[in-house]
Amino acid sequence: MKNAKLYERKIKKLLSGMKKTVKVELADESESIAVILESVLLGDGTDIKHVNKSISTFTNVFVDFNELRAAPEKEISDCFDKNVTEQHEKATTISVVLNAIFTISNTLDVAYIREKSNRDIRRHLRELGFPNFAEALVARRIFDIHAVPIDKSLLEVLEMNEMIHPGADIDDTQSFLERIVLQKHDMAAHEFFRGYIAQNATALEKKRKEDAKRLAVEQAEREAKAEAKRLADEEKQRKADERQAAREAKEQEKAEKAAAKKKEAAKKKKAAERAKAKAAKKKTVKKVAKKTTKKTVKKAAKKTTKKAVKKVAKKTAKKTKSKKK
């Protein structure tokens, strides 16, 4: 913990008014499940009389603890005294822990845990599903291991009264307290802290309401901010879509103009090719006609010449013949 020396002095000063010793009666094997139930129910400021009343109801409703183990969580919580805090969470913890023990040992017996080292016992209790408070109380009352129970209420009160560093979590705070408090004083510290929570109950309730209000405001601000961001993102996307649509329309128009221009060019080219072909054809016809005319004229001239020569020759011959007579 940050500034550990400072907060160690504060905690020691706070605990200076506690009873130095509290008699600790270790549970035997037959009492272990009852101690487990009590340890779970005592958390977060529940008074021992409400815990005892709830356990008494268990014994009246269920044949034994094994039937309690097999019961739905709703049936378990229905047996709680109305003043038991965090009822849903505690019913879940009871069901989870008892079933975990039964799965491992095939019975509701924690004797197998005693074979482990102290460190492994505490780690195993966490693995079974115990929260910090119940795990520490079970470790101390069943396995005689040094532990200081701490729950959410104690954590909040210590932080509210500046006895621990702001923002310290429950694991860090529990380890911090277990380093400060000696084993012979751990249950005395536990009893003192329960009274300390009761003394600060009104202030704690006020703080929780203020925290809930603050968290609600912060949540509303986060939601408003998220909504504003969503709207801004939508507007940004809309504008981007409009720009994209404009680009695509411009590109489409450009493509259409290019296609029209290409089509017009092709049309002109085709017209030019037709005109050229027509001109070529006309030229060919003219050339052929000219050649034909020339040939005809030449042939006619040749024929006329031949005819004239023949006529002259014939006339000459006729004259010659007349002279001889």
- The encoded tokens of residue 84 equal 């038991």
Place of tokens 């290409």: 262
Q: How far apart are CA 255 and CA 260, in angstroms?
A: 9
Q: How confident is the model at residue 323 (pLDDT cuts 50, 70, 90)?
A: low
Please state, in angstroms and rounded to a whole number, the distance separating the CA atoms of residues 54 and 43: 14
Q: Which domains does the chain have, with CATH numbers?
A: 4-206 (1.10.340.30)
Residues 181-204 have a mean pLDDT of 94
Per residue in 221-279, pLDDT tens? 999 999 999 999 999 999 999 999 999 999 999 998 999 888 888 888 888 888 888 88
Global pTM value: 0.70
Per the CB < 8 A criterion, the answer to whether 46 and 85 are in contact is: yes
Which sign does the torsion angle of CA 110, 112, 117, 123 carry? negative
Instruction: Write the CB contacts of 149 (distance below 8 Å, at least 6 apart in sequence).
Output: 39, 43, 132, 133, 134, 136, 137, 140, 190, 193
Distance CA(35)–CA(134), nearest Å, equals 10
Quote the CA–CA distance of 304 and 297 in Å, as a whole number.
10
Q: Number of helices (H) and strands (E), helices first, in the chain?
A: 12, 0
Q: How many residues does the chain have?
A: 325
pLDDT tops 80 at residue 316: no
- Which residues have a Cβ under 8 Å from the Cβ of 214 and sit 6 or more positions away? none
Structure confidence by residue, pLDDT tens digits, 122-172: 999 999 999 999 999 999 999 999 999 999 999 999 999 999 999 999 999
Terminal alpha carbon distance of the chain: 171
139: closest CA among 155, 120, 158, 160?
Answer: 120
pLDDT at 309: 65
